[in-house]
Amino acid sequence: LLWTPTVPPTENYTVSTFLLNETGLLVAQSDNYPLQGHSPTIAWQTDRYYYDSHYLGALGLPPGDYQVGLKLYLNSPSGNLVVQGPQSCAPACEYILLSTITVE
């Protein structure tokens, strides 16, 4: 993932990447601060790019198509951020679907 904030973040957000099977069931998930905690969002500056990687294990998954999803959230009562804009998320929702992968 490659991030660039439009305003300086005022909190440390957790990134959740996940796989959904063909029926929408969650089958894999990785939740962590960006770059495994080495790039806290509260230190991010505007007009800079921040790299972030997440591992989603597909070993043992049955063959089929899986959707890759992403969401940001706070470990606080305010919870998930609302995603706005992408066509895969209209009206606003708590996550975005990035792509589909095929396990053979």
pLDDT at 2: 93
pTM of the model: 0.81
Given a contact cutoff of 8 angstroms between Cβ atoms, the answer to whether 33 and 40 are in contact is yes
70 DSSP β-pair partners? 17, 96
Q: Write the class of the CATH domain 2-103.
A: mainly beta
Given a contact cutoff of 8 angstroms between Cβ atoms, the answer to whether 68 and 97 are in contact is yes
pLDDT along the chain (104 residues), means of 10: 92 92 93 90 94 88 94 74 57 80 93
The structural domains of the chain, with segments of one domain joined by +, span 2-103
d(CA 79, CA 76): 6
pLDDT at 99: 92
d(CA 38, CA 73): 17
Mention every residue, 6+ apart, whose C-beta is less than 8 A from residue 63: 102, 103, 104
